[in-house]
Amino acid sequence: MAMEGLESRAAAVIPWLIGKGLRSNSRQDLLNSFCEKLVELGVPLWRFHLAQRAYHPKFGGIGYNWTRMDGISHEHYERRETPLEAWLQSPFYVLLEQNMEVFQSDLTGEDLTRFPLLRDLKDQGGTEYLAMALRFTEDEPPFDPNNPSEGVLCSWTSDGAEGFSGEDKALIQALYPALGLALKSMSNRQMATDLLQTYLGRDPGQRVLSGEFQRGSSTEIDAVIGLFDLKGFTSLAGELPGPELIEMLNDYFGIAVAATHGHGGNILKFLGDGMLVMFNLGSIEKDAQAALDAAAELCRNISLRNEQRLALGLPITDWTLALHAGKILYGNIGAENRLDFTVIGPAVNQTARIADMHRSVGQNMIFSSVVQRAVTAGKHDMVSLGRYMLRGVADPLELFTVYRPNGAMPNLSPYVED
């Protein structure tokens, strides 16, 4: 009879888990509903926790926490060179370190001394704790608990007077593979999204994930194109140790990317010590306004950061930004087995020619008359730099900058080229 009861309870949940894995992308909704179903089936579940590795440059993992009182919540775990003491003293760590599949505790005795988490759960009314590991790979032990392979770690805590019954625990174990399969399906989609957006950019990543990866496929759009560059980086590369150079590059790129993303722009690619950006918000007026707003923010924040770096005795550098607008082809270019999602067209080439004029006009920021005409007058004090014949461009182009009361940012560092 007990086996029949277990099978009927499991049969009520497993098809639902499989369906969720096939059709849904929300792990949080899945876990919230899963816990509620366990409670409906009579499992005295008070708290559920799941930890899973994340493929993200900033976050090493993600955790979901459910309680019968508060429902579901989640948090990201930042990557750390030194593991947190709380992790080293957790049942999950022991699961991985000792290659265990199941860890159980009745929240008494030595467990409360050994694991601070279990002591806290006991103090809050917990009566039994059950944790399990499920790997998505066929890695052979030994395993590194500080760099776990792909998979999930889950724990269930009861507040029932007798904890979990034997049938409750058998049900959880019977459902765990189906839960893991659903989570793996959703995680693969999230992993692809995170990696594509990290390496291709937000908009290109979404386009590729939606199926735009055939060689030669492209879309003609009107957009503002920007070329951001760090001045004097060649000299710096010859004088600074590699780690310091990378730290400096990441510091400045972090500011430039934040300003671009903050105003709706996309990073198309990094070009050594520079980057190619695009603003495509639906109209040339919105694109141009967003580009200049981002440039103003970038200017302020790099100036502030340079003051901070100088105070810390760190090397600094200057920057340039060129902006132009026009029709561009946006899509896949390359070979059959190696593609790049990028932009091409006369507007892109002309942006590069405008970028070549920084030294001649003595300004950090230069933008074309196409951008200037599209911006609402008065918000930025735009000043003409004159008309120029640019290399490879048939007609003269008037260039502009934005007047800043403090003038162009001076070359404060001996590493920066004049």
> 398-415, pLDDT tens digit by residue?
999 998 766 444 333 333
Mapped onto helix, strand or coil, the DSSP state of residue 238 is helix
Region 129-139: mean pLDDT is 85
Tell me which of 10-14, 141-145, 408-412 is least confident: 408-412
Region 268-273: mean pLDDT is 88
Q: Distance between CA atoms of 4 and 8, rounded to whole angstroms?
A: 6
CB 243 within 8 A of CB 364: no
> 64-104, pLDDT tens digit by residue?
999 999 999 988 777 666 667 888 899 999 988 888 889 99
Q: Distance between CA atoms of 146 and 148, rounded to whole angstroms?
A: 6
Q: How much is the pTM? A: 0.68
Give the CA distances from residue 338 to residues 214, 330, 334, 384, in Å, rounded to whole numbers and listed in that order: 11, 17, 6, 42
Q: Does the pLDDT value for residue 234 go beyond 90?
A: no
Look at phi and psi of residue 382 and say left if phi exceeds 0, alpha if psi is from -120 to 50, else beta: beta
